[in-house]
Chains A and B, each alone.
Chain A
Amino acid sequence: MPNMNTRRKRVEVFAQGNEAIAEGALLAGCSFFGGYPITPSTEIMEVMSQRLPPSEDGVFIQMEDEIASMGAIIGASLAGRKAMTATSGPGFSLMQEHIGYACMVEAPLVVVNVMRGGPSTGLPTSPAQGDVQMARWGTHGDHSIIVLSASTVQECLEMTVVAFNMAEKYRTPVILLVDEVTAHTREKITIPYRDELEILSRVTPTVPPEWFKPFAEATRAVPAMAPIGSGYRIHVTGLTHDQMGFPTSRPDEVNEAMKRMFRKIDQFYGDIMMVDEFMTDDAEVAVLAYGSVARSARYAVEQARARGVKAGLLTLKTLFPFPRPAVEKLCRRCKHVLVPEMNMGQISREVKRVNNGYTRVRTLNRVDGQIITPSEILKAIL
C-alpha cells in the first residue's frame, strides 16, 4: 500500500469509514458511480455525488433502485469505466441477479456493502456482520468471487483501492464488506498521493479486431477486455458463452468457460488472500476476526498478553477466497482459536471447515445489534 519513503507531507483528514471508501475509490480511478441510498452506506454515495461531476470524466447517477444501480455500473464497466456502487443489506439482496451477471460477463466492478442487522429491513442503524455468506453465495449458480473486508477507517480507504485493483486484474466483481461501526467511526486518516499507490487497470486487446477472442484463455486466464465503442464490436451475454462470447450449451465449451472463470481466481490465492497478523508468532490462543470486531479483539489480545496469556490476532482482510493457509497454520498450532463475530457463525463455519480436527474452534456470537466488546473477547480468551 502507500509507499512510506515519500518526502511530501501527506494529507491527513478526520474522516468516517464511508467517506474513506469514497476517497479510496476516487484514488483508484473510479469514474462511475450508480447507486440508491440506504442506511448505513449512504454517505459513500453522497460523497461521490459531490466529487464525481466536477472531476475529469466522472459520472454520478442516482438510479431508481439497486437492481438498476448494478445494471448501470455493469454497463459503465463494459464501456470501459471503473465503476462502483454502495449499498446495505436489503439493497444487496436486490443486486444479486446482476452480481451473477457481472461474474458471468467478467465485468470488473466494486460493490460496497455496509452491513446492517437483518434479515429483511432488520436493524438499519445497528452493526452486524450477517451478509458474509451472502456475499460469497448470494447469487444463483456456481462462480468464484472476491470478498474483502475493512476494520479501520484507514483500511476502508486502502481496501477500496485493493478492491478496484483486484476487480481490474481478475475481471470480476469485488465485494467490500464493512460493518456499520467501521463505516460511521470517525478517525484521523492519511490520504496517500495517487502516485504512491499501485493502481491497476484491465488489460485491453492489442490484436486487430478480427483476431480478437473476447473470452478466450489468456495470460492468467483473464481475457483482455475491449471497451464497448472501441472498435472491437463484441457480444456480451449472461448466457454461458463460447470464446467469442456467443451463447453455447456444448458441454465441452461450457465446461471450459466455467473452469477458466474459476481458475482465474483459484490460481492466485496467494495474491488475493490478505490477512494481518498481530502477536501470532508464539500465540497459544488465536482470535480470528474481521471488521470492527477485529479492533475489539486487538485490545483484548493486548490485555490477555498483559495477564501473561499468549494470545494473538489474525485479522481477515480477504474473506473469500477464504484465507485457508493462514487460518490452518494457527489451527494446527494453537490450543484453541476463537472466532467472535456479529452473526450466528458465518466465518466460524469456514474456520471449522479448515480446522479439520486440529484444534478447538470456539465461537462468540452477537446478533442483538450491539458491538462485541474487548472485555467479552478477553473473557473468552482466558
Chain B
Amino acid sequence: MADVTQLIHEYLRHNKKFPHVFCPGCGHGIVLGSLIRSVHALQLPKDDVVVVAGIGCSGRMAVYVDFNTVHTTHGRALTFATGIKMANPRLKVICVMGDGDALSIGGNHLIHAARRNIGVTALVLNNMIYGMTGGQCSPATPQGNTSMTTPHGSLEQPFDAVELVSAAGANYVARGTSFHANMLDRLITDAIQHPGFSMVEALSPCPTQYGRKNKFRDAVSMYEWLKKNTVKLENRKEDDTRIPIGVFRALDRPGLEDRYAELKASLRAKGRA
C-alpha cells in the first residue's frame, strides 16, 4: 500500500485537478495505474514522457498524470503525437484514446500511424461504448448490444482493433484488460520499449454507461465477465470463442523517426545538405 501511495505522489498531479472524473468501478483508473507503473518500471524521466490524449473519459488521463501532457481534439491525438515525435524523437510519446477516439473519428489516423510505424505507443481503452457523451454506440460495441443510439440492438459488426492495427503494419500489437492488471503492466511496459508503432488495447469496463445498458448488475460483474470471456493467447484452443489477450505481434523494424534520421544522414553524406 505504501508503494502505491508513493507512486501516486510521484506521478499524479495531486495538487491539481482532483477529484477525478472516473466513476467508481471504471476500468480507466486501472489502466492509468498500469501506465504509471510501466513508466516507473522503465525509470523514464518524467520530462521525457509525453502523454497525448484524445477526448472522452479516457482522454482525461492527461490532466492527472505529471508528465508533459496534451489533451487534444476528439480522435486526433495520434496526429499531434506524430508531430511531437518527429519534432523531438528523444521523447517517449504515449497516446491515450477511447474506442470512439481511436476507431471511429480517429480510425484513419490509427491505421496511418501503424502504417508509418511511427515510434508512438497507443493505448486504446476499449469500453465498447461512448462513455463521456452518455453511452452511445461505438465501433467496438458488440453486434446486438444496446446503447443510447442502438435501443433496438446494434446491427453493425464491431472493429477488432488488434487485427486492424496489425494489418495496417504496426510493430507491436497487444490486448489486455483491466481485470488482468499485472499482465496489462507488462504489455504497456513492453509496448513503450518497442521501436516503431505499438498499440495496447485494454478492455476496460464502463459500468455507468455500458454496464447499465447491457444488464450488468454492478461493476464487479463486468470484471467477472472479462475474466470468463477472455483467454490468454498461449492457452487458446482452436474452437475457443473467447476474446484472446496477449501479444499478437512484436517486430523490431525501425520506427519512422529512425528511418528519417537515416535519410538525413545519407543526404548529408551525399553532400546534399
Q: Which residues of A contact B (CB under 8 A)?
A: 32, 34, 53-56, 59, 61, 63-65, 67-81, 83, 97-98, 101, 227-231, 233-239, 244, 246-247
Chain A residue at minimum C-beta to C-beta distance from B75:
A67
Interface flag for B225 (CB, 8 Å)? no
B127 contacts the other chain (Cβ, under 8 Å)? Answer: no
- In the docked arrangement, what's the CA distance between A313 and B109, Å? 47
Q: How far is the CA of A74 from the CA of B48 in the complex (A)?
A: 18
A247: chain B residues at CB < 8 Å are 17, 63, 71
Q: Which of B47, B76, B268 is the one whose CB lies under 8 Å from A54?
A: B268
Residues of B within 8 A of A (CB): 13, 16-17, 46-48, 50, 52, 62-63, 66-73, 76, 78-88, 90-91, 108-109, 112, 260, 263-264, 267-268, 272-273
Q: Are B68 and A228 in contact (CB under 8 A)?
A: yes
- When A and B form their complex, what is the total count of cross-chain residue pairs whose Cβ atoms lie within 8 Å? 137
Selected A-B contacts with CB under 8 Å, 22 pairs: A63-B79, A64-B112, A68-B109, A70-B79, A72-B79, A75-B79, A75-B80, A76-B83, A76-B84, A78-B70, A78-B80, A79-B83, A79-B84, A79-B87, A97-B73, A228-B68, A229-B47, A233-B66, A238-B71, A238-B73, A246-B16, A246-B63
Interface core residue of B48, B68, B87, B273 (most chain A CB under 10 Å): B87
Q: Please state if A68 and B84 are interface contacts (CB–CB under 8 Å).
A: no
CA–CA, A238 to B267, complex, Å?
38
A68/B263 in contact, CB under 8 A: no
Pairwise interchain contact A81-B87, C-beta atoms closer than 8 A: yes
A7, B175: Cα distance in complex, Å = 65
Given A54-B273, A247-B63, A229 and B73 touching (CB < 8 A)? no
Q: Is the CB of B109 within 8 A of A236?
A: no
A68 to B112, CA, bound (A): 10
Is the Cβ of B268 less than 8 Å from the Cβ of A228? no
Query: Given known contacts A59-B87, A235-B63, A237-B63, is B50 in contact with A229 (CB within 8 Å)?
Result: yes
Closest B residue, CB atoms, query A64: B112
| A-side contacts of B263, CB under 8 Å | 53
Q: Is the CB of A71 within 8 A of B108?
A: no
Report yes or no: B91 in contact with A71, Cβ–Cβ below 8 A. no
CA distance A78 to B72 in the complex (A): 12
The interface centre, meaning the residue of B47, B72, B84 with most chain A CB atoms within 10 A of its CB, is B84
Which residues of the other chain, B, contact A227 by a CB distance below 8 angstroms? 88
CB-defined contacts of A238 to chain B, threshold 8 Å: 71-73
Are A34 and B90 within 8 A (Cβ)?
no
Asked if residues B69 and A236 are in contact (CB atoms below 8 Å), the reply is: yes
Q: How far is the CA of A53 from the CA of B272 in the complex (A)?
A: 9
Q: Which residues of A contact B86 (CB under 8 A)?
A: 32, 59, 61, 72, 76
